Structure formats: structure tokens, C-alpha cells
Structure 1
Amino acid sequence: MRWPRLAKLLPFLAWLPRQTRASISRDAVVGLSGAILALPQSIAYALIAGLPPEYGLYAAIIPVLVACLWGSSWHLICGPTAAISIVLYASVSPLAVPASEDYVTLILLLTFLAGIFQWLLGMLRFGALVNFVSHSVVLGFTLGAAIVIAIGQLPSLMGITLASQATAFASLANLFEHLGEVDKASLMLGLFTLALGLLLKALVPRWPTLLIALVSGSAVAWMWPAMFAHVQRVSAFVGQLPPFSALPTDPTLVLRLLPSAVAVGMLGLVTSLSIARSIATRSQQMLDANQEVRAQGLSNIVGAFFSGSLSAGSFTRSGLSFEAGACSPLAGVFSALWVALFAVTGAQLIAQIPIPAMAGSILLISWGLIDHRGIRALFRVSRSEFVVMALTCLATLLLELQTAIYAGVLASLFFYLKRTSQPRVQQWRDGDEEVLRVGGSIFFGASHYLQVRLQRAQGLRVVIDAQQINFIDYSGVEMLHQEARRLRAQSRSLTLRHARAQVIEELNKLEGAEHCPIQFEH
């Protein structure tokens, strides 16, 4: 009994003892590749979130270790992401000055609250709740977030310092008002970094193009001081391992951040599970969704106390882990350890990165966020889902980002309820019978639609072919009894044919089998 319980508390005990020297060596190399990819991304995401650059590295260490060791997927690698970072910035920037000590504390508190929400979902085995955030919502939010990120980085690309605005459109309008302040050297350096990154991505997509572009932009600025000496650099910081961070316990702050924590926590889970399932399909691995949800929550709870902002699954790093042949979650563990080594030794190098070059790199990330193929496929397959995607994208530009997530979920539910409230009904006459084959459940949302169809039926004997009806609620039961009594008063009848046992049982509960006005046929 002890071993299964221990394995449940420490899931890594199920796979760690099976590792060999060869698999560990392979995972260490894969982890190094992941760390090289994570370094520029983590710094960029910290800047997007309004955090000092070192906090991006911190978020790629402890949260990644916990998520890999306690998770279910062999290839899912977590860390800071662009979409999560922009939501963090949108949620906390109205409450404190970005990059300030108070701002960092609020970001970590928001991370902790989101982690608690995720962990509770996993403990209550509600991992399936993330399915309510449809893929179209994620596509629309990601597209909108990419646009928001790009607009937010344009001032840095142009060497302009602007106050943050509540929405993307307001930021764009503010930028147009200050176009006369553009610094040509900063713009040249940023565009060079962006152009080089796009070129490398087209020619050698498997190379660490983001890192090469960023290093090249920094090298140009260093070798041409007469032109670029005045260009602003990334803030210097002391190289160290993630420091312990105490979190505030003010109930007012907790309540203020709670709605954002739920939104960003759900977004993180949807992103992580989508990536994990996608890769598991290719690797033939069985996933435990609730264990993965618990691991995501635990990684953010623990990470918040070690200066890590909210983390979620990374498309690029997880894909790299699978494509490079990672043998186990140890690849993610090694990736975090390599990042930790760089956080201690590479602080002085990071301080040499020009802000416009970093902005060019972030624009490159924004372009990579857009799932062009997925958007085209969605347009071909489902126009209603495409509308949901478009509405979610528009909401990210017009509203606060956490509100946009809720708006997208509500739009998805609206179209889902609209579809289910009008189940497919095939209708035909067979002598004195009029048969209606109902292709869906009879619940409160669909009862009125089916009642209208029944009232239009003309046969002396109205038959419902119920073999596709899996569920009926009280509203459906009451409606069918009402229609059966109406038909009986007209010397007609209502018959359910091929009804499932549970449907018959629910219909008989209202008045008892001996008094039920509905007839049943097999």
C-alpha cells in the first residue's frame, strides 16, 4: 500500500528509476538545447510582463523543475510565455508601476492565486473543465495577444518612452501622437534584429534563430559605439539563483487579483494541456489530465515563493523536446538547471542587450505566435467557431485581456447552446404515423424547439425515434408528458420508439409507469 501512495505523492518515482546512463546523457543534451532556446525567450517575456529581465530566468527554473517532476507528460516543458506575460501585465500594471518592487510582489501574488486555482481543479478532478475553453478561443486570444504584444513593443523598437495604456487601440493612438520622437539608430537596430531573425527562420528554422538574431543585434551595437552608444540597454542585475519571495496577505489585494488569477490560470491550463495532448498523440503516451493540472498548479504555487512568475506550457520548447528525442521529463529538469547556471554566470552579458534589439526579438516571437494554418482551417471547417475566434481577438484589442478570455468562453457557450437547442430532427410520414427522429438530448434548452415540431405533426400516431437520445431532463420529461396528454385529448397518441432504458425510466418517474401517457416501442 505504501508504494502506490508514495508514487501518487511523488509521481517521478514511476519513471526516474528506469533511466539509464544513455537516456540521462541524451536528456542532458536535449535540455541544453531547450535552455539555449529559453534564455532569450524568458528575458523577452519578463519585459512583456513588465518585470526586470532576471525574473524571466527565475520563471524558467523552479516552476519548470516542479512541473516536469510532478507532471504526466514526458515532453511538456513549461515556463513563461508571451500570452501569459501580456495578461499579467494587463492585470497588474493599473495597480503598480511596472518593474517596481510592489509590481513584482503583485505579479507573484497573482501567480500564487492562479496556482491555487489550478491545483484545486486538479485535486477535485475537474481537469475536464479546461475543455470549456474551446480551441477557437485559444486561437483568437493568441492572435489578439500577438497584436497587443507587437503594438506594445513598437515604442521600444523606435526608441520612444511612452506611458502604458489600458487597451491596444489606445496604445496605438498614443504612439501615432509621438512619431516625431523616433530615434533612427534605435529603429535601425531593432529592424536589423527583426529582419535577421525572419531570414534565419526561413533559411534554417531548426537553428536557435531568436538567440542568433539577438546576439547579432547586440554585437552590432557593441562594435559601432559612435552610432549606437546612446541606445538604451537592458537593466543590469546581480547574477543569483531564484531568491525567496514573501507574499502579501492583504485580503483586499487577494480579492482584487482573484478574477485575473482565475482567467490566467485557466488560460495556462488550456495552453499546457493542448500542447501535452498534441505531443502525446504523436509519442503514443497516455496522459493523466488531472495529474497534469495538479502539477501546473503546484509549479506556480512553489514558483511564486521563488520569484517565478506564472508559467505554462511552451509550444516551441515542448516541440523541441519531442523532436530532439527526449527520453523522459529529465530533459525539462536539465533545461531548468542549465538556465539556473546561466542566471548565476551570465548577468553581465544580458546587460549588454540593447532594448530595440530585444523589441525586434519580441516582434519575432509575436509573429511566431500566430497559427496561420489553424486560422485558415477553422475558417474552412466551421464559420461559427471562426466568429468566436474573431470576437475573442477583437475583445483582446478592445478590452482588458482577462476579460477577453471570459468573452471568448461566453461566445463559445452561446454558439454551443444555440446548436444544442435545435437538435437535428428528421421527419417523415408513414401512413397514419408521423415519425420524428431526434438527433440529440432533450434538455431545457431544446424542449421548446421540439415541442413546436411535435405540435406541427399531423399524423394520428406521432412517433419519436429515440435511439439517438442519450439524456432527458425534467423540462424534457414535462414537455413530452404535456404533448402526450394534448394528443390523447385529440384521440391521437405519442409513442417513443427504440428509447434507451434510462430515458424510459426518467419519463416514468413523473406519474409512474401505469399512468404515463406516453407509449413505448422497441
Structure 2
Amino acid sequence: MASKHFSSRTWSARNRRGWWHKVNRHNLRRDLLAGLTGAVIVLPQGVAFAILAGLPPAYGLYTAIVPVIIAALFGSSHQLVSGPTTPIAIVVFTTASALAVPETLDYISLVLTLTFLVGLFQLAMGLARMGMLVNFISHAVIIGFTAGAALLIITSQITNVLALDLPRQISFWINWQHVIEQLPHTNYYALGVALATIATALIIQHLRPNWPSLFSAIVVGALVSLMLGGEASGIRLLDTLPTHLPPLSVPDLSLDTLGKLAPGALAIALLGLMEAVAIARSIAAHTHQPHDANREFVGQGLSNLAGSFFSSFASSGSFSRSAVNHRAGAQTPLAAVFSALAVLLVILFAAPLAAYLPIPAMAAVLVLVAMRLVAWHQIKVIFMASPVDAVVLTTTFAATLFVELTFAVYVGVMLSLVLHLNRISHPNIVSLHPDDLGDHRRFVTSRPGKECPQLKIIRIDGSLFFGSINFIERALRDIDEDNPEQKHVLLIGSGINFIDVAGAELLVREARRRRQLGGDLYLCDVKAGVCDILRKGGYLELFGRDNIFASKREAIEKIFPRLDLERCQQCSVRTFTECASIEARE
């Protein structure tokens, strides 16, 4: 146990400094280009998400600076990019707008305090090592969530690609209804910019895979926009940006304010952690890079705590920007740091130049990235190999589209838990018989006509705990119905890893019942942990020490004399080596 603990600590220490060895000229170049691409993407998103959160547009860009740097340096994922996100912005608005008028000073103060509380909750959960909670997010949940999020990204950007003026809708279905209705009003200049951007990215990825395809595509999109007339042709460009550093801010830490915001802050903290870890796991599935959920909790918590003092609202991992970062070739967290620094430099020195960036080009990059997020091969494998996982995947995918984005992960997690509990409460019970009559007693799955008529041998592959005892008890009673003469039952315990008090009482209860029937219940190959529970609970005496054996061979040798020998003389199966003694008597 000590060595395992040491191994865990060693891995954690290595993981903390695991990406520094990757910092070299080649990777720095890739990180820098990925960071610049991410900065271009976050400029319009930050403005939009701030407005969605009920804040002045500048606060979206502030949230794309300090929180991004802190989360990248203290988190575990090398490609995860944090900052403003749609789900968090919506919940921030819902929580704070009930207490103050949006965009007012009082409202901004509440949002900053809310951000501080979110960070505090997240940091506390990280320090308490509650990252184990993410172990309940199955691979099928991640695949379904990723596919659904990809379709939502495409849905959110298709209006920018076509330059359609549509009302802001949250519903996936209603958004597409509006798009279809407004298709005749498509601006083909904007569509041309988007198509040129996509074509450039695809050509570069095919001919020059090592080139920064996404960043180059946005540059080409900007040039095409200029050639087509820009805003004069109806092509939307980025709005004017602020030209000063994020102002320092102080959250309102009065007990009254903290009490009002605490419930909403806890909800946002959980949503943000679930979102960030789900994205980190999704990226890790492609990069095969290990990630530490506890560190991710700490990184997100510190980023929100720091952000609350630098005019930032609650942030989390961004699915679209993380995907862009990964696809753009990011190798280390420095890519996210470069992205934040690039946003800061744009604010200070290049705000006027941002006005030349066409929104259709940035939307096209997001659409292209989203299309590559869908793991078609893995979806096919899941549907072919595991109907249960296919249900989880489909449910998570549907919930992502038709329910709130982050709640979809909750749906998938809850469904995974229900199905997991159903599996462990129905352990596999296998009937066995000896196939090798030698000393090793090799046992195989029973075939008709091969079992001893008096002794039933079964192996339970699972735990004997309160959730499974009803199923196991029914299976033991079914033995009586299938073959009433098999009053003796040998239970091979090599597959039992855990037993609780309810499981121990089941064994004692079943042993007593079988003795009343004229038989008995026996155990062999029982693991040390199971024996400890039986011994400490006083169940060994009730069950019978003489009924517990170290091996299958010993069990058969000791059980055989307890069988009805007269019946053995009439038996033609001759299952055990000991049956030869009956033949000798005949």
C-alpha cells in the first residue's frame, strides 16, 4: 500500500513539471501560433459572452486574460483553454439579475463577488481531492457530450457564416428553424469569406500539415473580406475593443452578500468544474496525455479567485477554444498563456486592427474545428460493442442538444451511475464443473450432464453487498427449483472482492437453510479481505469454519464424504476424482 501511495505522489510530482521538458524552439513556435489563433477566436466570443452575462462587453475580454493564465499554469491539461463560456455566462446572468439591474455598478459588484465565491468553492473541492467524482463520467458520456457540443458550436456559428440576422435563441431546434426560414436572405459575400477560410485551412492541412492552418486561414479570410468590400458588402467585422488594462476590483465580502450568492455560486462552481474536466478528458482521449482532475479543480478555483480581483466574471474551460487550441498544434499550457497575452496586447496596442477581422472567417474556423470533434469511429465501435454504452451516448448527445449544455453531462453521469449500479447489483454467477480430474482441479463452465447431481458448484464474479444480495439469494434458491437434489452448494470466492454485513448475513442465512434441506453451503478460494469481514463480524462460527476451504481441491476432498454415497453408487456422471472410490467399492 505504501508503494502505491508513493507511486501516486511520484506521478503527481512528475505531472506538475511534466510539460516543461517539452518547451523548446519548435514547440514554442507551435504554442505561439496556437495562442494567436485562440486570441483571434476569443475576441468576438468574449464580447458576446459578456453581453450574455449582463455585463459591459469589455468584461468578456478581461475574463480572457488573467483567468486563462492562472488556469493554464495550475491545471493539468496541456491544451485546455479557460475563459468566458456560454453556459457559465447564462447562469451568471440568471443568478445576479435576480438581485440587481444588469450592467449597473451594483450588478458588476455582485458578479465579481459571485466569481470569488465560485473560485473558493472550486479550490476547496480541489484541495479536498474531490476529483474522484469525475471517475463517474464514462467514456460514452464524453463521446456523446463532445458530439453534441460540436453540433451546438456549428449551430451557434452558422448565422455568422451566412450573415443572417436572427433573434438570439437558446433552443437548438428553434435556431435551425430560423436558419432554414432565413436562408433566402443569405449574404453570399459573407459565405464566400467563410468558404475561402475553410478551403484555405483544408488545403494547408493536406499539403503542409506542419503549417499553422487555422491562423493562416483567418488571415486569408480577412484578405478576402477586404477584396469583397468588407462592411460595405454586409460582411460583419469585429466591434471596437477597449484600450486599457483590466482594472483592479474588490469583491463585496459582506456576510449578507455572500449569503445571497452562495447557492448560485455553488451551482456555477459545479457546472464549471464538470465542463472543464469533461473537456480535459475529451482532449486527453486524443492526445493520450494523463490528466489530474484534482489539479484541474485547483486550477479552475485559483483562476476564478484571481479573476474576481481583475474585473473578470466566472470562467471555465471553453470547448470551442480548447478544440481550436488542440487543432492549431498547441503542445504545452504556454499556448493558453500566449493567447491571453495576445488579447492583452490587442487591447493595448492593436484594438483598431481588430476591426478588420471578419466574423464569418472566425465562425468558419469554429465550424471546421467542430466537425473534427465528432469521433465517428468510436461512436461506431460503441454502438456495435455495447448497447448499454450506446444508450448512455445517445442520451447524453440528445440532452446536450435539447437541454442546457452542462446539465447534459449530469444526465450522462446519472445514467452511467444507474447502469453501473444495475451491473454491480447483478453480478455474474457461473456454474462450474471439473474438467481436469488431476491435482490442479481445472474447472470449466458447466455443460448438461457434467454436473454432480448432489453438489452444485458456482462462482460469483462481483461483490456481496446490500445492493446485490437479493439477486444472489434468488439465484441460490433457483438451484432448488432447477435440481432439488443439489442440496450441497460450493461457492468459489475467487471473484468476490468485497463483502459487507448484509452479504455475510446472506451466507449464514443460506447455510442454515441448506442444512434444513439436508445439505450445506461451502466456501473456497476466499480472499483475505472477505475472510476478515467474516471473522471480525463473528460470522465464521455461524457459517461453520469447517465449511471454508483454501482451495477447490481441498473443498472437493472434504465435501465428497458428506454426500449421499448410496446415490453416488447409482450415479453415472463420475464428476470428481473421488468418484473412483465408489467404482472400486462396486
Do Structure 1 and Structure 2 share a fold, with TM-score over 0.5?
yes
- 8 Å CA contact retained: 1:62, 1:308: no
Distance 1:24 1:64, change over 3 A: farther
Deviation of 1:106 after TM superposition, in Å, equals 7.8
User: Using the alignment, how far apart are the partners of 1:202 and 1:387 within structure 2?
Assistant: 36
Q: Tell me the equivalent position of 2:555.
A: none
Report which of the two structures shows the higher radius of gyration computed on alpha carbons: 2
- 8 Å CA contact retained: 1:35, 1:339: no
Q: Tell me the equivalent position of 1:371.
A: 375
Distance 1:144 1:53, change over 3 A: farther
Q: Tell me the equivalent position of 2:317.
A: 312
Distance 1:378 1:340, change over 3 A: farther
Q: Tell me the equivalent position of 2:298.
A: 294
User: Using the alignment, how far apart are the partners of 1:364 and 1:274 within structure 2?
Assistant: 17
Deviation of 1:287 after TM superposition, in Å, equals 6.3
User: Using the alignment, how far apart are the partners of 1:241 and 1:204 within structure 2?
Assistant: 38
User: Using the alignment, how far apart are the partners of 1:92 and 1:331 within structure 2?
Assistant: 27
| 1:478-497, Cα deviation, whole Å (9 max, x unpaired) | 32222222212212211121
Q: Tell me the equivalent position of 2:219.
A: 215
Q: Tell me the equivalent position of 2:516.
A: 489
Deviation of 1:349 after TM superposition, in Å, equals 1.8
Tell me whether 1:502 sits opposite 2:529 in the alignment.
Answer: yes
- 8 Å CA contact retained: 1:140, 1:392: yes
- 8 Å CA contact retained: 1:59, 1:80: no
Pick aligned residue for 2:456 from 421, 434, 440 = 434
Distance 1:72 1:394, change over 3 A: closer
- 8 Å CA contact retained: 1:87, 1:402: yes
Distance 1:200 1:290, change over 3 A: same
1:496 maps to a residue whose letter is: L
Deviation of 1:346 after TM superposition, in Å, equals 2.5
Over the aligned positions, Cα root-mean-square deviation in angstroms equals 3.8
Task: State, as a whole percentage, how many aligned pairs show the same letter.
Answer: 33
Q: Tell me the equivalent position of 1:79.
A: 81
1:401 maps to a residue whose letter is: L
Q: Tell me the equivalent position of 2:495.
A: 468
Tell me whether 1:261 sits opposite 2:269 in the alignment.
Answer: yes
| 1:389-422, Cα deviation, whole Å (9 max, x unpaired) | 1110101122122321211111111221222222
User: Using the alignment, how far apart are the partners of 1:409 and 1:219 within structure 2?
Assistant: 45
Q: Tell me the equivalent position of 1:122.
A: 126
1:477 maps to a residue whose letter is: A
- 8 Å CA contact retained: 1:59, 1:311: no
Q: What is the TM-score with the length of structure 2 in the denominator?
A: 0.73
Alignment of structure 1 residues 178-257 onto 2, 5 Å: 178-225=182-229, 228-247=232-251, 249=257, 251-256=259-264
Distance 1:408 1:330, change over 3 A: closer
Q: What is the TM-score with the length of structure 1 in the denominator?
A: 0.81
User: Using the alignment, how far apart are the partners of 1:243 and 1:153 within structure 2?
Assistant: 31
Q: Tell me the equivalent position of 2:411.
A: 407
Deviation of 1:49 after TM superposition, in Å, equals 3.7
Q: Tell me the equivalent position of 2:577.
A: none
- 8 Å CA contact retained: 1:44, 1:53: no
Q: Tell me the equivalent position of 1:455.
A: 477
Distance 1:186 1:292, change over 3 A: closer
User: Using the alignment, how far apart are the partners of 1:341 and 1:239 within structure 2?
Assistant: 9
Distance 1:19 1:418, change over 3 A: closer
User: Using the alignment, how far apart are the partners of 2:230 and 2:44 within structure 1?
Assistant: 26
Q: Tell me the equivalent position of 1:32.
A: 32
Deviation of 1:475 after TM superposition, in Å, equals 2.7
Bigger mean CA deviation after superposition, 496-505 or 307-316: 307-316
User: Using the alignment, how far apart are the partners of 1:195 and 1:335 within structure 2?
Assistant: 24
Tell me whether 1:445 sits opposite 2:467 in the alignment.
Answer: yes
Flag structure 1 segments of 5+ consecutive residues without an equivalent: 1-10
Q: Tell me the equivalent position of 1:480.
A: 507
| 1:444-471, Cα deviation, whole Å (9 max, x unpaired) | 2222111111112242211110112111
User: Using the alignment, how far apart are the partners of 2:489 and 2:276 within structure 1?
Assistant: 50
Distance 1:359 1:32, change over 3 A: closer
Distance 1:189 1:69, change over 3 A: closer
Distance 1:107 1:135, change over 3 A: farther
Distance 1:333 1:227, change over 3 A: closer
- 8 Å CA contact retained: 1:114, 1:265: no
2:349 maps to a residue whose letter is: T
Q: SS where residue 426 of structure 2 aligns?
A: coil
How many aligned residue pairs are there?
496
Q: Tell me the equivalent position of 2:3.
A: none
Pick aligned residue for 2:135 from 110, 131, 136 = 131
- Comparing both chains, which one has the higher relative contact order based on Cα–Cα distances under 8 Å and sequence gaps of 6 or more? 1
Deviation of 1:28 after TM superposition, in Å, equals 4.7
User: Using the alignment, how far apart are the partners of 2:134 and 2:63 within structure 1?
Assistant: 23
Tell me whether 1:163 sits opposite 2:155 in the alignment.
Answer: no
- 8 Å CA contact retained: 1:263, 1:406: no
Distance 1:509 1:183, change over 3 A: same
Q: SS where residue 240 of structure 2 aligns?
A: coil
User: Using the alignment, how far apart are the partners of 2:228 and 2:466 within structure 1?
Assistant: 71
- 8 Å CA contact retained: 1:88, 1:107: no
Deviation of 1:198 after TM superposition, in Å, equals 3.9
| 1:28-64, Cα deviation, whole Å (9 max, x unpaired) | 5444233223222323543674658766654453234
User: Using the alignment, how far apart are the partners of 1:291 and 1:166 within structure 2?
Assistant: 32
Q: Tell me the equivalent position of 2:9.
A: none
Q: Tell me the equivalent position of 1:4.
A: none
